[in-house]
């Protein structure tokens, strides 16, 4: 199927998310859609998949104009979308999720005909999984799957529904490297079968490695169309209108220890952590590496006082806070920025000014004029593309992350961040790290997790690698390599705990 979008327009209030976008994707191709956060990529693909109606413009399939008013109608035209967070029912089995949305999947007549053909669905699921080398148990509960496995299940379900155009929106944001390799192999197989794959991303290296053609969006418009092989420098220039220099590693004079862990242990059924000792100094950055679910999140939550350790000691600036409530960690200058920006950190429905009022904790009464002025000031300081009255859910991921940093107290001893640049484009990521670097200069110790090994090597002074409940001795980030981190993450190297000075 050949897909053509002509002069697509879509506005949300004063924001023109898609401003006359036109592109063509040929059958049997992987078509990349590249752009920074807020460039209009997701909006355009939601229009193609029926989740959002365009204000004007045309969609043509094999040269024939079609109207797509809903996701169900898109599926009838052979178009399906895999969202950043797969749409599934965690309490149901893989087979039950696989059956969702299947028209005509009935057997027999009468009452028996109301039941789905589970035997046929099971065989179809196993056959499709074998075709793409996916290891999925039809009877396993969906709640036990990783994000990558949930993606695999959703891809198989869409293929079973007859999808000939598959849209993937930032599919590698929360999956491991082995799952990424398997996903890319599956996408190449689908393109080889004549399907169209739209690959929405802000990651240059993945687009360069995978896509046959790339459309670059900037500020809601097409900045350029590039055929493979693509020049990385040209793509960056099209995305941002300029070349982004590689940030140099900045030397910072470290201060006294502010976070100290002694023989720390955390009990958890899936990723327990045992016997970790660490000393982090003021101004130092420590990165946490590991496959998804290896314990990095538990480690950060334990350092933040959100969960108590099973054993050992946690000290902040020389004060023993082991087992103390979260509010005492806050009072001691510990700040935690989780990966889930909406829900865990920000409150959907509240504006930027309302978040600032909550963060300042003024008491019973709120001076809304003062809160709006303060919000506008921080919006300028942190380059947030929004206003004090903007609901946080309407901001892009990069702007939500900037708001989170803007809400932090000016002086904090320890900043704990979980995937601080996940889902962000290069410019947004650099902006986030510029603010973090400024805090380091003022003496804040930073501990952060990331799935991006280059980010860990570039932004850390030392790196801890998590594997199967064990934590490596700290590695000097200046001497470590991607290969070394990969071996440790796979358990193919000895691990131990830090030797105390």
Domain positions in the chain are 3-240, 257-333+409-489
15-24, 72-81, 102-111, 215-224: which has the minimum mean pLDDT? 102-111
pLDDT at 311 over 80: yes
Identify the CA nearest to 301 among candidates 343, 273, 262, 320.
273
Whether CATH 3.20.20.140 fits 257-333+409-489: no
**Bridging pattern class, strands 475-476 and 462-467:** antiparallel
> Model confidence at 499, in pLDDT bands (50, 70, 90)?
very low
Cα–Cα distance, 117 to 105 (Å, whole number): 6
As a whole number of Å, the end-to-end CA separation of the chain is 64
Greatest alpha-carbon pair distance for the chain in Å reads 78
212-216, 378-382, 487-491: which has the minimum mean pLDDT? 487-491
Please compute, for residue 91, the number of CA atoms within 13 A of its CA located in the half-sphere on the CB side.
0
Transcribe 82-151 into DSSP letters. Answer: E-SS----TTSBHHHHHHTT-TT-B-SSGGGGGSB-HHHHHHHHHHHHHHTT----TTSBGGG--HHHHH
- Chain centroid offset of residue 213 CA: 24
48-100 pLDDT tens trace: 999 999 999 999 999 999 999 999 999 999 999 998 777 788 889 999 999 98
Q: Report, as an integer, the average pLDDT of 373-377.
A: 86
Q: Which listed CATH number (2.130.10.10, 3.40.50.300, 3.10.20.740, 1.10.3720.10) goes with 3-240?
A: 3.40.50.300
Cα–Cα distance, 440 to 285 (Å, whole number): 8
Tokens of 431: 């902006």
Q: What is the pLDDT of residue 494?
A: 46
> Model confidence at 359, in pLDDT bands (50, 70, 90)?
confident
Confirm whether 3-240 and 257-333+409-489 share one CATH topology. yes
Helix %, strand %, coil % of the chain (to 5): 35, 25, 40
Determine how many CB atoms are found less than 10 A away from the CB of residue 146.
Answer: 15
> Model confidence at 184, in pLDDT bands (50, 70, 90)?
very high
Q: What is the pLDDT of residue 103?
A: 60
pLDDT at 501 over 50: no
Determine how many CB atoms are found less than 10 A away from the CB of residue 205.
Answer: 10
Q: Report, as an integer, the average pLDDT of 285-314.
A: 89
Whether the ω angle into residue 487 lies within 30 degrees of 0, i.e. cis, is no
Cα–Cα distance, 303 to 305 (Å, whole number): 6
Q: What is the pLDDT of residue 492?
A: 59
Between the alpha carbon of residue 192 and those of residues 30, 116, 169, 188, the distances in Å are: 10, 31, 20, 6
Whether the CB-CB separation of 30 and 212 falls below 8 Å is answered with yes
């Amino acid at each position: 199927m050949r897909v053509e979008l002509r002069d697509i327009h879509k506005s949300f209030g004063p924001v023109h998310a898609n401003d006359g976008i036109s592109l063509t994707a040929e059958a049997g191709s992987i078509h990349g859609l590249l752009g920074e956060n807020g460039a209009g990529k997701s909006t355009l693909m939601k229009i193609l998949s029926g989740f959002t109606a365009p204000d004007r413009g045309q969609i043509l399939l094999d040269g024939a104009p079609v109207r797509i008013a809903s996701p169900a109608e898109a599926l009838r035209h052979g178009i399906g979308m895999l969202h950043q967070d797969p749409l599934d029912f965690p309490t149901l089995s893989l087979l039950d999720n696989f059956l969702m949305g299947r028209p005509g999947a009935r057997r027999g007549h009468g009452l028996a005909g109301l039941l789905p053909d589970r035997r046929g669905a099971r065989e179809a699921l196993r056959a499709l999984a074998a075709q793409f080398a996916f290891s999925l148990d039809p009877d396993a509960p969906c709640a036990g799957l990783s994000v990558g496995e949930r993606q695999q299940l959703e891809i198989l379900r869409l293929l079973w529904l007859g999808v000939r155009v598959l849209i993937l929106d930032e599919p590698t944001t929360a999956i491991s490297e082995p799952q990424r390799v398997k996903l890319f192999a599956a996408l190449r197989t689908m393109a080889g079968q004549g399907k169209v794959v739209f690959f929405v991303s802000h990651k240059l290296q993945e687009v360069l490695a995978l896509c046959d053609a790339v459309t670059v969006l900037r500020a809601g418009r097409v900045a350029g169309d590039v055929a493979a092989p693509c020049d990385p420098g040209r793509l960056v220039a099209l995305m941002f209108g300029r070349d982004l220099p590689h940030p140099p590693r900045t030397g910072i004079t470290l201060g006294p220890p502010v976070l100290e862990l002694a023989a720390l242990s955390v009990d958890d059924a899936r990723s327990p952590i045992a016997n970790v000792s660490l000393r982090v100094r003021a101004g130092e950055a420590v990165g946490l590496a590991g496959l998804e679910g290896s314990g990095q999140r538990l480690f950060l939550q334990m350092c933040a006082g959100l969960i108590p350790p099973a054993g050992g000691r946690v000290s902040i600036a020389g004060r023993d806070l082991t087992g103390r409530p979260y509010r005492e960690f806050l009072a001691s200058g510990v700040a935690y920025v989780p990966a889930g920006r909406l829900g865990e950190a920000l409150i959907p429905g509240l504006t930027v000014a309302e978040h600032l009022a909550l963060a300042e904790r003024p008491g019973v009464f709120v001076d809304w004029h003062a809160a709006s002025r303060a919000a506008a000031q921080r919006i300028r300081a942190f380059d947030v593309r929004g206003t004090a009255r903007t609901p946080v859910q309407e901001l892009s991921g990069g702007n939500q992350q900037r708001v989170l940093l803007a809400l932090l107290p000016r002086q904090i001893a320890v900043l704990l961040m979980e995937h601080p640049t996940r889902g962000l484009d290069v410019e947004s990521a650099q902006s986030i790290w510029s603010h973090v670097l400024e805090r380091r200069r003022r003496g804040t110790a930073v501990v952060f997790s990331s799935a991006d090994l280059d980010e860990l090597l570039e932004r850390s002074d030392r790196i801890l690698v998590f594997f199967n409940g064990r934590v490596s001795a700290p590695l000097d980030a200046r001497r470590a390599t991607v290969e070394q981190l990969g071996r440790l993450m796979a358990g193919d190297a000895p691990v131990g705990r830090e030797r105390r000075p």
